[in-house]
Amino acid sequence: MDSGEDFEGLSSGETAMVAGAAILSLLGTLVGLAGLLMWGIRAFDMMFPVSGDGPQMLADFAPYLTLLHFVLTVVITMCGVLNLMVATRGRDFVDGGWKRWLLLSALSVVAGVLFFAVPNTV
């Protein structure tokens, strides 16, 4: 089955719903990828500083909070990619895939709220 068959027979409202979900999924994926780049570089710099001294395990929690931010951006990115995969299957999305899309979107929003709620410095 080619990709064109997924969208045949959809009403204009269903097509708009699928297109909106795909656009939101793409935006979520791009935000997650930007966060991965930013926090991945920062996490690497904090865990393996240029001076060669590793973080003090008990006194310095900032690297671990930064790693938590990195993991949260991984979750946001994966939810965005999975949502994009769900949303690009038009008929499957309309027939019930929207439930999984909503669940993954909620998980992504929770990860985003945690991302902003957890401080990145001690």
Please check the confidence at residue 79 and state whether its pLDDT lies above 90. Answer: yes
What value does the mean pLDDT of the chain take?
80
Three-state SS across 4-28?
HHHCCCCCHHHHHHHHHHHHHHHHH
Please check the confidence at residue 78 and state whether its pLDDT lies above 90. Answer: yes
DSSP 43-109: HHHHHS-TTSPPPPTTT--HHHHHHHHHHHHHHHHHHHHHHHHHHTSHHHIIIIIHHHHHHHHHHHH
Domain boundaries, the chain: 11-49+62-117
Q: Is the pTM of this model over 0.85?
A: no
Predicted confidence (pLDDT) per residue in 24-71, tens digit = 899 988 888 888 888 777 767 766 666 666 555 544 666 677 778 888
